[in-house]
Amino acid sequence: MDGYAVVDVEATGRSPWRHRVVEVAVVLLDDGLRTEETFATLVDPVGPVGPTHVHRISQDDVVGAPRFREVAPHLLDLLAGRVVVGHHVSCDHAFLEREFARIGVPLPAVPLLCTMRLARTRLPAATGWGLAACVAAAGLGRYAAHTALGDARATADLLRHYGRSGGLPPADRGAPSPAGTPVAWPRLARARSLGEGGAVPLLPRGTVPGPRPGGAPLPGGLPAAAGGE
């Protein structure tokens, strides 16, 4: 594998089958867990944005955001050949898998690594297994909770913490392929809605840090926000 793709999505609800991705972020790490690239954008879910009180994304925020089909080709390139990492990674992966299925692209089985699952042995003093509690137990400070990029960066920091404190276990593999057979990775042409040439019009959200996990006050009077999973 060629390093890690740390992913996070914000969605219009809890079900990958009934709800849609409204924000997605990817932080690419090399084998040494150094950041190579970051990607983030709001996504037009073509409908209600869902629980604004959780993800703090309003209907107006997604006006002008790309649809999933428009960012899908680049997302495929980012995930190709990587171990996919997330905090409760099965949830993030399920949303991405379902979004790709909606546009007729079966996402191949990919190796997964879950920082929440690892926390149960690596962070015994944690008060819970959500991202905020794990970040606090690891002593990693504040982050922009419930923004896709803020959560993805915090998850990448957790992965580095685990790497320093005891190394990383093998990723959970998807459906096995025959020995020596590379995974056939799909490619996707540019969306017709974008016309010819030009960059995809991404709409990244600001990542003002939220509260210190555990409820510690913020310096400088920054506003508090709900902690993230």
Whether the pLDDT of residue 165 is over 90: the answer is no
Structural domain includes residue 229 = no
| Distances from the Cα of 209 to the Cα of 89, 133, 153, 206, 226, angstroms | 22, 16, 11, 9, 11
Q: What are the tens digits of pLDDT across the range 97-132?
A: 999 999 999 999 889 999 999 999 999 999 999 999
Structural domain includes residue 49 = yes
**d(C-alpha 117, C-alpha 208), whole Å:** 27
Tokens of residue 120, six digits:
């149960």
How many independent structural domains does the chain possess?
1
Structural domain includes residue 152 = yes
Instruction: Identify which has the larger pLDDT, 148 or 166.
Output: 148
In the prediction, which pLDDT does 182 show? 58
CATH number, domain at 40? 3.30.420.10
Q: Global pTM?
A: 0.86
Lowest mean pLDDT among 113-117, 211-215, 223-227: 223-227
In the prediction, which pLDDT does 229 show? 40
**Per-residue confidence at 174, pLDDT binned at 50, 70, 90?**
low
| Mean pLDDT for the stretch of residues 195-203 | 86
Structural domain includes residue 180 = yes
Structural domain includes residue 228 = no
Kindly give, in sequence order, each residue whose CB lies less than 8 Å from that of residue 35, ignoring residues fewer than 6 positions away.
Answer: 27, 28, 29, 156
Structural domain includes residue 198 = yes
Q: What are the tens digits of pLDDT across the range 45-88?
A: 999 999 999 999 999 999 999 999 999 999 999 999 999 999 99
Structural domain includes residue 58 = yes
Residue-range definition of the domain harbouring residue 95: 4-221
